[in-house]
Amino acid sequence: MHIKRGDKVYIQPSDFGMALTAAILKKNVPVAVVSDSAKADFWIETASKATHEGGAERVAKVLAFGGFAGSGKHFDATVTARNRDGVVVFAYNSQKGDFQSAAQNVAKNLKKHIEENQE
């Protein structure tokens, strides 16, 4: 029970879902993204959250790491894909500095999952 090349996936409508759709196309993930859930072989659900470091935490990082302290932003995205029976066949959590990087990271790992599970 794995997502295979050419399978149709429906991605839950959300801001991150739209970014994930774009990333799937950009990364050439070998699936067809469909806008009608009734036509899908698999359904992808997403949950995402953006956070900013608190003031004290940010100051401590800048003092410790200087210019290498990063932006202070953090984006978490969790994606699950399930089949028609509701069985989860793929799950991934991405923690990146921004929305787009997280979506591309998920797409890259979905592609890897598909390639590793070809019959």
- Contact in structure between 90 and 117 (CB atoms under 8 Å): no
Domain ranges (residues) in the chain: 8-48+76-116
Give residue 38's pLDDT.
96
Q: Which class is domain 8-48+76-116?
A: alpha beta
Q: Give me the pLDDT at residue 62, please.
A: 47
**pLDDT (mean) for 1-14:** 94
pLDDT of residue 117: 86
Residues 6+ apart with CB under 8 A from 22: 103
pLDDT of residue 98: 85
Q: What is the dihedral of CA 33, 38, 41, 45, to 10 degrees?
A: 70
